[in-house]
Chain A
């Protein structure tokens, strides 16, 4: 099974071209992002595929997934609204913002909503302390910042995401 190698041949080549041929292990994290975009999460098969592309042992690839927080080893919500609640954001109401957003969506911390599409998670510093409350939207295809948020603007984002999920 080499689905990624087939489907993303050009992208994989351009990733590998960044690093010296004898050090292609450097490409492991970029390739894990490609795999996560394709499969939504990184299970054993995805890990094996990435390992095969780089001639690494699956264990060497698998160990990275627990270490780096942006990789997910099990199926989860499609959209993760990740609110920074570290000190500078907390001083500007980020904890209340996260709490109210969860309340409004009727979800608990980190748990997806009833459709399994959307979760509100509290995360560590996003380097946007001057624009709190802030969250990043992590979806399989990327990560986007939403800054200077209010409950209303965040709920509008959720509505838009639900519309997107419904039309899939």
Chain B
């Protein structure tokens, strides 16, 4: 039987959410008392950029923004000999179900900024931008103050630690567009243009910001770096699974008693996250389904084999979904999945940037068909039509948003067909 404890369970030592156990960790003096900025200083003084890249490769750290691509490998694609280079931190967190980067920037800002600095050293960049979604207005003002504090303490600026290395970090506010979380759309937006994705290749590591070699990394990815450098590869790889090392910040939301960010080793089971850390289902109802990567991956029926599966990139893929940015939305037995898909489709239809026809038109038609289902005006064949529109989007767009928009819907029809039929029958 499922455990349903009311007490907060034990959590393994956090790597990213260290502010949860260390009071006032958002103060520079406190952060430095706990070893903050030693990793960056040591890297600048005595570790070559190549050595840092190799170390991050060996650590097995994978991008925490959703793609799970090995971070050190991404860095090693920077075109040799081309300068200036740029580092961009992706803080455009906008996926329904995701709220981890915000907590990191708000509560553990100096570890995040040290991660940005370490990445800049490895990339041999002298300028880094933090692209924050426009809604993070207050958070960004606070981050500006933290950056100024680092400059005052000689931890950012010119001639760092007596070397000739200089680094400036600037924040940049977006203005409300989910698509800007896609790294090439983000770069377009940072250049002052419409946030629409670029054709790849070239990838940002070859031609990124202003056409120069650029690393774009998620906030959580960057926040992992200081401790990886300080404590080493073996320590890091002792947490998580072989192919997905380290911890992950799981954003747990929906029908759980305690929605929250929970940092756990990759490979922890859905059951442990939802029933121990999340306290179980609201009102002790039955769990029906899980969206493991927010709105952007196939929906999973909450059967025992799913609940007992580990949450790492490989295991969730084997279940027929994706871990993505690990935003776990829990749906209880009262939820009609067609309704949930209609909500998700509303989001993607609104956020489609309009560049690629299959996504722009496909999300529009999916929204209309789901609208018919929700108002009881649908015919039975509308379900098949909806599925075919979704299938028609997949694999045909410049960026992943098209696939994201379709995956939850097509999987919803395949795995929860009855929930759709209920509405169609009513409409006949």
Interface residues of A (CB under 8 A from B): 18, 20, 23, 25-30, 32-33, 54, 63-64, 67-71, 86-88, 90-92, 124-132, 136, 142-145
| Residues 188-229 of B contacting A (Cβ, < 8 Å) | 189-195, 210
Residues on the A chain within 8 Å of B295, using CB:
86-87
User: How far is the CB of B343 from the nearest CB of chain A, in Å?
Assistant: 4
5 interchain pairs (CB within 8 A)?
Answer: A18-B172, A25-B191, A27-B192, A29-B174, A125-B178
Interface size class of B (residues with CB under 8 A): 35 or more
Residues on the A chain within 8 Å of B192, using CB:
25-29, 54, 64
- The yes or no answer to B252 lying at the interface (CB within 8 A) is yes
- The yes or no answer to B78 lying at the interface (CB within 8 A) is no
Interface residues of B (CB under 8 A from A): 93-99, 101-102, 129, 133-138, 170, 172-178, 189-195, 210, 251-255, 259-261, 291, 295, 327, 329, 331, 335, 340, 343-344, 346-347, 350-351, 353
Contact status B94-A127, CB under 8 Å = yes
A-B contact count (CB 8 A): 138
Also in contact, A127 and B99, with CB within 8 A (given A91-B255, A91-B335): yes
CA distance A32 to B170 in the complex (A): 18
Contact status B210-A20, CB under 8 Å = yes
CA distance A30 to B192 in the complex (A): 9
Contact status B98-A143, CB under 8 Å = no
Residues on the B chain within 8 Å of A68, using CB:
134, 174-177, 195
CA distance A18 to B351 in the complex (A): 28
User: How far is the CB of B101 from the nearest CB of chain A, in Å?
Assistant: 8
Best-surrounded residue of A70, A131, A136 (most CB of chain B within 10 A): A70
Contact status B189-A29, CB under 8 Å = yes
Partner of B137, one of A87, A88, A143: A143
User: How far is the CB of A152 from the nearest CB of chain B, in Å?
Assistant: 21
Also in contact, A124 and B97, with CB within 8 A (given A25-B192, A30-B173): no
Partner of A26, one of B98, B190, B254: B190
Residues on the A chain within 8 Å of B175, using CB:
29, 32-33, 64, 68-71
Contact status A144-B137, CB under 8 Å = yes
Partner of B95, one of A29, A125, A142, A144: A125
Contact status B251-A130, CB under 8 Å = yes
Partner of A87, one of B172, B173, B251, B344: B344
CA distance A136 to B138 in the complex (A): 11
Closest B residue, CB atoms, query A136: B135
Contact status A70-B135, CB under 8 Å = yes
Best-surrounded residue of B101, B136, B193, B346 (most CB of chain A within 10 A): B193
Closest B residue, CB atoms, query A63: B194
Residues on the B chain within 8 Å of A26, using CB:
172, 190-192
User: How far is the CB of A46 from the nearest CB of chain B, in Å?
Assistant: 14
Closest B residue, CB atoms, query A66: B194
Closest B residue, CB atoms, query A22: B210
User: How far is the CB of B242 from the nearest CB of chain A, in Å?
Assistant: 31
CA distance A132 to B194 in the complex (A): 30
